[in-house]
A and B are shown apart, each in its own frame.
Chain A
């Protein structure tokens, strides 16, 4: 059995308190680091660990930190991205609610590494309970002197504030988040300049996902060499939270080293396909990642393995669909999501997502033609790479992969002039591994 890091206290209702965290070695990594490491050395250690962003893009965290220009006279900012909204993903919420101090310790360590004295936690507006837990945890950490002035007598100061979002998926995109935090619509910015150079309030800014930051105390406590041996290989290293939702008997959150086999995750840990139904498809890494067929899921859940079969690890939110799922209807559902969440700034995304919804509505209701199936693929292809931010690609990738892999089912809708699948719309009671 592998050692659990994030989920080790999942059965303890007190895990969010500072007493519990301190009783289990909490803030020791921070104490040690402030005494023994210069900020630059923290960046080197995180680079060496192989830690890559857990929000979806998988960019090496230490390298990102290294982009912050230390000679820039402006203040530097760190933003913890807690705007978890990718359909199929519910891992950061666990850390926020159950391990807020692991996250705060990670924020202090990371802020120290980039010489930043003001950090913000941007949490999605719907997570009211999570925001309250974070405020309480921050108050505890301030009272103990782990956040604030002269932390552990090191002379290092850091202030952290919680900032609640207003309900918009796009604010999970880093430049959309920055605009939102500045008090504007969450309209993503053109890059370059990248936020590490010109970010929040025109200053160098690092934005890291909750889970990414929560890895940092572990790296500093046990060392990069130890950390980089967890997982598939040094480029796909570390513990990882996996979300499994949809048609399985035990949906929920699981922790394994990076590179967990997707098939094993579904069948051995998530209880297999709901009521032993036939598996039809799996979206491996959150709704934006290309869909997999049942014969493609014997794959390691890490960045490079999933990339090599044409999909992505994304946020590691696997959505399982059984034989009762209509793939046209499932895609129709996802494209409604993207059309609703498109910020409206770029024409290909704003118009393209709307037209995909119209085409899918037509197809699902039996009014579509074979030309519509091709047009759908064409529209998706014309969104790809033609927008300021990745939301356009996120909407196009599922459309392209669904049509490519389930073309017969799309065509059957046009032939029968109705949805040929007997959908199960009942509420499914499961023994959720929540």
Chain B
């Protein structure tokens, strides 16, 4: 077996199964677990999940391709998602994207050569009152300014 969950993740998987009357319903929780374990959900990882859930691998791929949170290939250590929907756009999201692009010297959907940062433009993050907003990995950064963006990115090691 090429890919396998750690012992801790295997235990978590067993616990997840107890939440649902069907194995299939554990799909999204297991995909989140896989992303946490491996950083992405490749075809090989999908095959592993298909064995865990006793489903055909195409069923896994069918779900993975529908959602935005399960990338198929490895991303940077820090994934920067800049919200670009209306409220954020009104408050300067385009300038936020341009600034991050310039600072990291990458385009949207690219990763820096040192694999540290990936930049993405995403749809509404649900934090419109504190726009403009970006999410880096699990954390929201709100009421952004150019100075704040610099400070945040410089602090990430």
- A residues sitting closer than 8 Å to B (CB atoms) are 75, 84-90, 93, 124-129, 161, 163-169, 180-186, 201, 243-247, 251-253, 283, 287, 317, 319, 321, 325, 330, 333-334, 337, 340-341, 343, 425-430, 432-434
Contact = CB atoms under 8 A, between A and B. Distances in A.
Interface stretch (B5-13, B102-110, B111-119, B129-137): B129-137
Interface of B: 19, 21-22, 24-29, 31-32, 53, 62-63, 66-70, 84-87, 89-92, 94-96, 123-132, 135, 138-140, 142-146
Contact of B143 (A128, A325, A333, A430): A430
Given A90-B126, A125-B67, A161-B19, A166 B31 contact: yes
Contact of B66 (A88, A125, A186): A186
Nearest to A92: B126
A245 B131 contact: yes
A164 B34 CA distance: 14
B127 to A, nearest CB: 6
Contacts of A180: 28
Contacts of B91: 245-247, 427-428, 430
A243 B128 contact: yes
- A contacts with B: majority SS: loop
Given A88-B87, A246-B91, A432-B143, A184 B126 contact: no
Nearest to A254: B129
A183 B87 CA distance: 32
A161 B28 CA distance: 13
Given A247-B91, A330-B89, A428-B91, 6 more contacts: A85-B124, A126-B69, A161-B19, A184-B27, A243-B129, A427-B132
Contacts of A181: 25, 28
Given A129-B139, A246-B86, A429-B145, A167 B69 contact: yes
Nearest to A426: B92
